[in-house]
């Protein structure tokens, strides 16, 4: 906080205008965030996404049975974490998209996030049966996180183990595995996974670190608690 105030003071002194000085600080903060952290949404991407969503809504208003457009809308809602709305779109496309592993994955996780874990798991299992390496194992990870959110760590563990077999260098997956191991009383293994989560983050290229930073921080926080 003091450093930002000092920077503001210097810029105000140099530019002679407090509003311009504040705008420069905001621009610097935004640039740093987009380069290293990613907390602030990309405004251009958000604008393009909003435009595409509006376009898809017009399409399904004209043709309510356009399954591909309904699926794409559902995925957009999924990415926005609006799982109830995602389920609404996916339900309308389900009859035509039931053989699509990607569709079943998104539909299943949305259903599970919306409260019906058993039914959601059935769709995710169907997706993985048809395509075991779908999205580099992401369905295993997200289904595990549903169980973690519901404190069902025993159900989460085998899913995380399956994910690790496909993607062994995911800071997010390693953090979740460490957390689950700790919750199940496997302290030494849990600590090992948390440390590996941080190590993988440090070794990752810059674009990957921006994605993984959150999970490395969470791993560090647990380790600092002396778990």
Rounded distance, CA 20 to CA 8, Å?
A: 10
Look up tokens 């996780």; give the residue.
Answer: 109
At 16, is the pLDDT very low, low, confident or very high (cuts 50, 70, 90)? low
96-147 pLDDT, tens digit per residue, is: 999 999 999 999 999 999 999 999 999 999 999 999 999 999 999 999 999 9
pLDDT at 15: 63
At 45, is the pLDDT very low, low, confident or very high (cuts 50, 70, 90)? confident
Phi/psi for 205 (5° steps) reads -65, 165
Show the tokens assigned to 215.
Answer: 């999970």
CA 27 → CA 48, 128, 156, distances in Å? 21, 44, 42
- Cβ atoms 123, 104 nearer than 8 A: yes
- Rounded to two decimals, the pTM is 0.82
63-84 average pLDDT score: 97
Longest dimension (CA), the chain: 65
CA 227 → CA 174, 185, 187, 224, distances in Å? 16, 11, 7, 8
140-165 pLDDT, tens digit per residue, is: 999 999 999 999 999 999 999 999 99
Q: Which domains does the chain have, with CATH numbers?
A: 44-131 (1.25.40.10), 153-227 (1.25.40)
Rounded distance, CA 56 to CA 167, Å?
A: 33
* Rounded CA Rg of the chain: 22
Show the tokens assigned to 89.
Answer: 């779109």
pLDDT at 30: 56
């Amino acid at each position: 906080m003091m450093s930002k105030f000092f920077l503001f003071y210097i810029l105000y002194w140099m530019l002679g205008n407090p509003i311009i000085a504040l705008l420069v600080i905001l621009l610097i903060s935004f640039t740093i965030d987009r380069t290293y952290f990613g907390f602030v949404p990309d405004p251009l991407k958000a604008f393009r996404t909003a435009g595409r969503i509006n376009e898809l809504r017009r399409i399904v208003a004209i043709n309510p049975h356009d399954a591909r457009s309904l699926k794409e809308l559902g995925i957009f809602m999924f990415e926005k974490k609006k799982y109830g709305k995602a389920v609404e779109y996916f339900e309308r496309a389900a009859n035509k998209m039931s053989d699509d592993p990607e569709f079943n994955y998104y539909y299943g996780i949305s259903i599970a996030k919306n409260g019906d874990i058993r039914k959601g798991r059935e769709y995710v299992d169907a997706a993985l049966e048809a395509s075991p390496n779908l999205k580099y194992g992401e369905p295993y990870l997200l289904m595990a996180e549903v169980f973690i959110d519901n404190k069902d760590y025993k159900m989460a563990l085998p899913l995380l183990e399956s994910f690790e077999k496909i993607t062994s260098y995911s800071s997010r997956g390693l953090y979740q595995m460490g957390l689950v191991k700790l919750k199940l009383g496997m302290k030494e293994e849990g600590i090992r996974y948390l440390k590996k989560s941080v190590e993988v983050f440090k070794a990752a290229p810059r674009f990957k670190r921006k994605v993984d930073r959150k999970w490395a921080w969470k791993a560090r926080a647990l380790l600092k608690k002396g778990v």
